[in-house]
Amino acid sequence: MANIVVDKETCDGCGECISVCPESVYEFDDDGKSEPVNMDDCSECCSCVEVCPTGSITVDACE
């Protein structure tokens, strides 16, 4: 399982990670920020890290 962290302070809720993720790992939380809810399904493709305009997503396999 990938370790995914979203920095809620810098996440602007654009939804790019949600739209690009092939495994539907992310959903919006109650504050409109990205939340990794299906980390077990992450294929570690790193698309979310690459597309995040604020650099708010960290995936251990993508470092």
pTM: 0.93
Taking only the tens place, the pLDDT of each residue in 28-50 is: 999 999 999 999 999 999 999 99
**CA atoms of 61 and 10, how far apart (whole Å):** 21
CATH of the domain at 47: 3.30.70.20
> Do 54 and 15 form a contact (C-beta atoms < 8 A)?
no
Closest of 11, 63, 4, 18 to residue 33, by C-alpha: 11
Which residue segment(s) compose the domain that 33 sits in?
A: 4-62
Residue 9 has pLDDT above 90, yes or no: yes
For 8, 41, 54, 55, the CA distances from 29, given in Å and listed in that order, are 10, 18, 17, 18
Q: What pLDDT was estimated at residue 1?
A: 79
Closest CA to 12 of 43, 51, 38: 51
Domains of the chain: total: 1
